[in-house]
């Protein structure tokens, strides 16, 4: 496996970013001083081809990431979810679609003000709040939710009656 990975990732050895003066040695997230300098538009131009200079110019921040608020509100979340089709897949790996999120914003067929409608609204608000909290955590800290999500969502299926995990 190690040999396979070396051969696979070694294919980029002749790419401009792997040759002097750039030879960026960084992890997959691109978190190193050289990568930060490129994002800031500060890179050594000596020895670069015009094409490489152009590519590096395109990588420069247009707006610094800290200038854009990272926090999402429940209203922002609702607007985004409502603008997408229910069948939009949120993950090619799991095939999960937005139906589970869109249902939070659907109008219930319950009498307004009935005990059932009030209880449903309380649960709906809690679920939306949880979604927004998780999204804001990921946005603030750059966290990617994947392990449990990929394992748990495929086992949920649309069934008549109460939802349950089909394993």
With residue 82 as reference, give the H or E element that holds it. helix 74-83
pLDDT confidence tier of residue 135, bands split at 50, 70 and 90: confident
Residues 147-156 have pLDDT tens digits of 444 444 444 4
For residue 74, which of 116, 44, 105 has the smallest C-alpha distance?
A: 105
Instruction: Read off the pLDDT of residues 77-94 as tens digits, 9 standing for 90 and up.
Output: 999 888 887 676 666 655
Query: pLDDT at residue 108 above 70?
Result: yes
- Quote the tokens at residue 23: 């030879």
pLDDT number for residue 167 = 36
> What's residue 4's pLDDT?
74
Please give the share of the chain, as a percent, with pLDDT higher than 90: 19
């Amino acid at each position: 496996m190690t040999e396979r990975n070396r051969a696979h990732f070694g294919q980029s050895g002749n790419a401009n970013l792997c040759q002097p003066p750039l030879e960026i040695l960084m992890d997959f997230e691109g978190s190193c001083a050289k990568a930060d300098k490129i994002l800031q538009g500060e890179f050594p131009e000596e020895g670069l081809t015009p094409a490489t200079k152009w590519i590096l110019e395109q990588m420069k921040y247009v707006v610094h990431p800290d200038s854009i608020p990272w926090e999402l509100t429940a209203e922002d979340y609702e607007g985004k979810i409502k603008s997408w089709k229910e069948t939009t897949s949120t993950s090619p790996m799991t095939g999960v679609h937005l139906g589970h999120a869109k249902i939070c914003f659907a109008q219930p067929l319950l009498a307004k003000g009935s005990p059932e409608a009030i209880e449903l609204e309380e649960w709906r608000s809690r679920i939306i709040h949880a979604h927004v909290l998780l999204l804001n955590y990921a946005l603030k800290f750059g966290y990617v939710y994947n392990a449990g999500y990929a394992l748990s969502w495929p086992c949920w299926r649309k069934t008549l009656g109460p939802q349950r995990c089909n394993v």
